[in-house]
Amino acid sequence: MVSDSSELFPTAFKFLIAGGFGVGKTTFVRSVSEIEPLTTEETLTVASIGTDDLTGVVEKTTTTVAMDFGRITFDPQNIVLFLFGTPGQERFWFMWEDLVRGALGAVVLADTRRLEDCFAAVEFFESRGIEFVIAVNHFEGGFHYQPEEVREALDIKPHVPVVACDARDRRSAASVLVKLTEHVLTARPL
């Protein structure tokens, strides 16, 4: 008897986790990954003075200089998500072109204290036809807006999901990935 091939081989998706500097991309990948994530965080040094804008993230002491990598499997669907966290600083954006190859979707993390910091990520994915969701990562002292208010502020299309999340919480981050997977499958059925 031949078993269903979906039982043997997982369906794999490559997703990017993007957004502005200090929005929680590394935290998101760390919290949800079922494997020890690969991170390329380095300590901020005096060399970044005048280059990196720490407005709103003055307590930040490290930065991703290449990418983060993690993996999560959703059973029983046998869907494996490979997660690539992008660097948030403009000086590292050249790496996004390599990271986006083969990606089916992206999470754009947004911080309501600095919502404009995710404009570049939204524009990047829209211009390449990559499906994405906006995940509003709530920070202490952040503003709480309704999804439609965030949609309007970012000028994104009505079909793009806007969800709230806590990047530190595994279940919250996983629910964002479920929403992105559903969104990608609706937009591009397999």
Give 25 or 65, the one with higher predicted confidence.
25
11-187 CATH fold: Rossmann fold (3.40.50)
- Partners of residue 162 on adjacent β-strands: 134
Q: Is the pLDDT of residue 135 over 90?
A: yes
Q: Is 62 helix (H, G, I), strand (E, B) or coil?
A: strand
Lowest mean pLDDT of 12-16, 39-43, 102-106, 128-132, name the range.
Answer: 39-43
Question: Which H or E run includes 11?
Answer: strand 11-19
- Distance CA(72)–CA(78), nearest Å, equals 10
* CA R_g for the chain: 17
Q: What is the mean pLDDT of residues 115-127?
A: 93
Give 46 or 110, the one with higher predicted confidence.
110
Q: Is the pLDDT of residue 2 over 50?
A: no
55 CB-contact burial (10 Å; exposed 0-12 / middle 13-18 / buried 19+): exposed
Q: Does residue 76 have a cis bond before it (omega within 30 degrees)?
A: yes
For 71-84, write each residue's pLDDT tens digit. 999 887 789 999 99
Give 60 or 186, the one with higher predicted confidence.
186
- Partners of residue 73 on adjacent β-strands: 80
Q: What is the mean pLDDT of residues 124-131?
A: 95
Residue ranges in the chain assigned as alpha helix (H)? 5-8, 25-32, 96-100, 119-128, 147-154, 170-187
Q: Supply the pLDDT for residue 1.
A: 45
For 41-98, write each residue's pLDDT tens digit. 666 555 555 555 555 555 655 565 557 999 999 887 789 999 999 987 776 777 789 9
Domain positions in the chain are 11-187
Angle (nearest 5°) at CA 178 between 177 and 184: 85
Give 22 or 151, the one with higher predicted confidence.
151
DSSP state of 58: T
Q: Supply the pLDDT for residue 96.
A: 85
Q: Is the pLDDT of residue 40 over 70?
A: no
- What is the value of pTM for the model shown? 0.83
